A and B are shown apart, each in its own frame.
Chain A
Amino acid sequence: MKQHDHSAPSALLQTLVGAGVIVLALGLALGALSIPSNAGYAGVGPNFLPWLVAAALLVCGGFMVYEARSGGFRQMDEPSGDGAPYWGGFVWMSAGLLANAALITTIGFIFSCALCFVLAARGLRNAQGQSATGLKPWLSDSVTGLLIAAPVYWMFTQFLAINLPGLTQSGWL
């Protein structure tokens, strides 16, 4: 039976969060089944903490579901920012981050990060409601992205000897 009380859509989301924690707890419990207990002298073995964590998360998740169904999570801060999420910007930024992950070993750190910068900045510009027509913002973001990514790459590869992938083997690009 569905409840038709005062619960706002956020109550549904809160229930989902609580349910997610319960699912995580069950997953951990499932994994704990396959961990042997060989406790030795200790009386507690490597499977003790996994079971404890699973049980604790189950209780926490259950309690959160209860809170969500009975008036919402307690002691919440006022959420910061606007009420309505701007999903368009989220998609741009996600695309940037995922493209970066997918391309970094092929096109190198500098270009991959610059691309991520351009896509993320696009999302944020749109979120601010900037009229981003024309080529200019794209161009300026690309240049800014390259100007940040390239020195970062050189600093880490040349001075700190941290391996970051390049387009070439030269260590500069």
Chain B
Amino acid sequence: MDIWNQLLQGFMTAGTPVNLLWAFVGCALGTAVGVLPGIGPATAVAMLLPITAKVDATASMIFFAGIYYGAMYGGSTTSILLNTPGETASMVTAMEGNKMAKSGRAGAALATSAIGSFVAGTIATVLVTLFAPVVADFAVKLGPPEYFMLMLLAFTTVSAVLGQSAVRGLTALFVGLAAGLVGMDQITGQARYTGGVPELLDGIEIVLVAVGLFAVAEALHAVLFEGKVSESENRMSRVSMTRDDWRRSIPAWLRGTAIGAPFGCIPAGGTEIPTFLSYAAEKKLAKGRNLAEFGTKGAIEGVAGPEAANNATVTAALIPLLTLGIPVSNTTAILLGAFQNYGIQPGPQLFTSSAALVWALIASLYIGNVMLLVLNLPLVGMWVKLLKVPKPQLYAGILIFATVGAYGMRQSAFDLFLLYAIGVLGLVMRRFNFPTAPVVVGMILGPLAEAQFRNAVSIGEGSAMVFLQRPMSLAILLVVLTVLVLPRLLRRRAAALL
């Protein structure tokens, strides 16, 4: 009942014309960056972080959230219509979606992915509504040792579990942690790695790192290596589904949601595993003619399931972010940075200290999903035109927005040189197959984890045994060990089924 009242309050806040406008602009922008190659939700939110200086917290979080899940809708459009799959999350959609588009069923593929995203997004939002307060109530009881273990879990999954190589993932993580070290130590106020430069006392700006690693590195990579890559575009067809399409899609959406949502809830993020699992499940369940369509004409279940799984994961990932303050992806890490810019630390207290903000944000998820359904079904033709933006102008334009983000945060031209340097670093990382998410997560979560660790050891009177003596902390430690082993087995299994 209490939840119901607060949610209604949230709808009142999110439903004001100004906030509706922010949500709409966020969803539209999110769809656009999802469709456009070379720029994703993390980059877009990072570039726009300077607005946190002026826009109030509720409005900008609604806006950023719109970009965050709007990009998931847009991303599937690109992976279905363009023959060059982008991020891993939409890679699975691309497998069947592309085949469907080639056999003249692009419209049905787009429809099932948009409606599936809506169904999964809405169900996952209901889960967020129901479970986030429960998790928050529970999380209040956690102490520093448990928190540190949860953060260790996030570090482990983002660096050693996701991505191919644990060595390169861990290297990226520790580079991120090193970047997070620069500045004043949270507990003693000791300056570290500032080299006497006063600007560095506040630490390295996250906008610089994110925009440099994603936007600038992406543009440099495009100019160096992708000039001659030719892209072909699949033909559009009418966006509609037949009775048979519906019959096959609905169970796939629900299964995808059921697979995706739990993966979002645990701080063991990434959409790669749930989308692959959903694809494998659909393929295994398909029979006869439908099974024959997999990999040939393109099976609609193979688009519907993974798309739903993707959106369910992404939405449910807000639960660990809001209740524990633990991000597990680039975009959620930057959303955490946005909260920090307002002096708000997401965590269990968020639901009491900033209740109005949180519930308005959750309400905006419901509203945003409806907006996105409209933006992506009847209006999909408009977004498809974005695919025609020529590469030179696209990447050059992205650099202008990168400048806004990097300069707007601190008004320092020096930051623009630093941005270039980070861009070159990102280029090297991309070329040598280092993941970027651990850098960003490590940089944002590192200082928090360090503080929790030191507080925990203080509680243990200087002994690290405290992590083993408390049952909850020991349990999470065991989970950490499990996630190190389990996904590798699951992935091998999923790969064997493909």
Contact = CB atoms under 8 A, between A and B. Distances in A.
B16 interface: no
B229 interface: yes
Chain B: interface size category:
35 or more
Contacts of A24: 175, 178
A79 B225 contact: yes
A146 to B, nearest CB: 10
A38 B315 CA distance: 43
Nearest to B402: A97
Contacts of B53: 161-162
A75 B165 contact: yes
A167 interface: no
Contacts of B177: 49, 53
B422 to A, nearest CB: 11
A102 B413 contact: yes
Given A17-B432, A127-B227, A148 B413 contact: no
Contacts, number: 231
Contact of A129 (B50, B185, B227, B457): B227
Interface string A71-85: 001111101111001
Nearest to A130: B392
Given A81-B226, A117-B397, A120-B396, A50 B408 contact: no
Contacts of A113: 399-400, 403
Given A43-B463, A57-B174, A105-B413, A64 B167 contact: yes
A31 B175 CA distance: 15
Contact of B188 (A14, A46, A97, A122): A46
A92 interface: yes
A60 B167 contact: yes
Given A57-B171, A57-B178, A164 B404 contact: yes
B364 to A, nearest CB: 20
A128 B227 contact: yes
Main secondary structure of the interface of B (DSSP, over half): helix
A73 B166 CA distance: 11
B164 A75 contact: yes
Interface in B439-471: 446, 450, 453-455, 457-458, 461-463
A124 B413 contact: no
Nearest to B55: A160
A96 interface: yes
B440 to A, nearest CB: 16
Contacts of A144: 393, 397
Chain A: interface size category:
35 or more
A152 B457 CA distance: 49
A121 B403 contact: no
A23 B123 CA distance: 49
Contacts of B248: none
A156 B408 CA distance: 9
B226 A82 contact: yes
Given A46-B185, A50-B192, 9 more contacts: A36-B190, A42-B455, A42-B458, A46-B192, A96-B399, A100-B403, A101-B413, A124-B222, A127-B226
13 contacts: A31-B192, A42-B457, A49-B177, A60-B171, A86-B225, A87-B224, A93-B220, A101-B413, A113-B403, A123-B223, A124-B222, A124-B395, A127-B223
Interface of B: 50-51, 53-55, 164-165, 167-168, 170-171, 174-175, 177-178, 181, 185, 187-188, 190, 192-193, 216, 219-229, 391-393, 395-397, 399-401, 403-404, 407-408, 411, 413, 416-417, 419-420, 423, 428, 431-433, 446, 450, 453-455, 457-458, 461-463
Interface of A: 13-14, 17, 21, 24, 28, 31, 35-36, 38-46, 48-50, 53, 56-57, 60-61, 63-64, 67, 73-77, 79-82, 85-87, 89-90, 92-94, 96-98, 100-102, 104-105, 109, 112-113, 116-118, 120-129, 141, 144-145, 148-149, 152, 156, 160-165
